[in-house]
Amino acid sequence: MKGASMFRFALGSLLICATAVPALGQQQRVDPAWLSVDPGTKTARFQLIAGLTGLNGALNFNGFRDGQLTLVIPVGWKAEIAFRNHDGMLPHSAEVISPQTPLPTQPVSPAIPRAFTLNLAAGLPPRGTDVIRFIAQPPGEYLIFCGVPGHGAAGMWIRLRVSATAQAPALLLTPSGKAK
């Protein structure tokens, strides 16, 4: 009797492991090539790839949704974000906005001057590109958000931290969650 319940316990643990492993396997990895850093000119160059994978019906940046990826840039550095639409179907765009709940369903004023792509609402078509350049300031938490109506609110956003303490730009995995 005792042995049987122990066996069931062991079996239960095995089943949990068996289901957990594929879920972890699907976790998008950070590609170090996405971020390049020029300390001399204090420039952070980031490849922002809309619809990199099929996650969330391709409503993702670099394979991440709902804030699962955070781009950290030290305050005062130059940000150069090369946006590319990898989604073969839908248009996408990107803008830096303040964290807010609920998330807007249309483009809003960017939280940092010049931190937005062309055609925010209509989006850039498949294979479309744009480079946005801005100075990372003031310090704080921001979202990099797709402005095509409904996309950002459906999870198409990652985080940007303009940091007063970080010494260098970085890409961090962060828990998915509410914008604010």
Residues 6+ apart with CB under 8 A from 170: 35, 71, 72
Number of residues that bind Cu ion (CB under 5 A): 5
- Is residue 92 near Cu ion by the rule CB under 5 A? yes
**Shortest distance, CB of residue 103 to Cu ion, whole angstroms?**
12
Q: Which is nearer to Cu ion, 48 or 77 (CB)?
A: 48
Q: Which is nearer to Cu ion, 43 or 56 (CB)?
A: 56
**Shortest distance, CB of residue 65 to Cu ion, whole angstroms?**
11
- Is residue 124 near Cu ion by the rule CB under 5 A? no
- Is residue 148 near Cu ion by the rule CB under 5 A? yes
Q: What DSSP letter does each residue of 61-110 carry, written as one string? A: BTTB-TT-EEEEEETT-EEEEEEEE--SS--B--EEE---SSPPSS----
d(CA 143, CA 70): 9
**Shortest distance, CB of residue 146 to Cu ion, whole angstroms?**
3
Q: What DSSP letter does each residue of 65-77 carry, written as one string? A: -TT-EEEEEETT-
**Shortest distance, CB of residue 123 to Cu ion, whole angstroms?**
6
Does residue 138 have a cis peptide bond before it, meaning omega lies within 30 degrees of 0?
A: yes
Residue type, 63: G
- Is residue 156 near Cu ion by the rule CB under 5 A? yes
Judged by CB under 5 A, which of 55, 120, 146, 171 binds Cu ion? 146
Region near Cu ion per CB under 5 A, out of 3-11, 75-83, 136-144, 146-154:
146-154
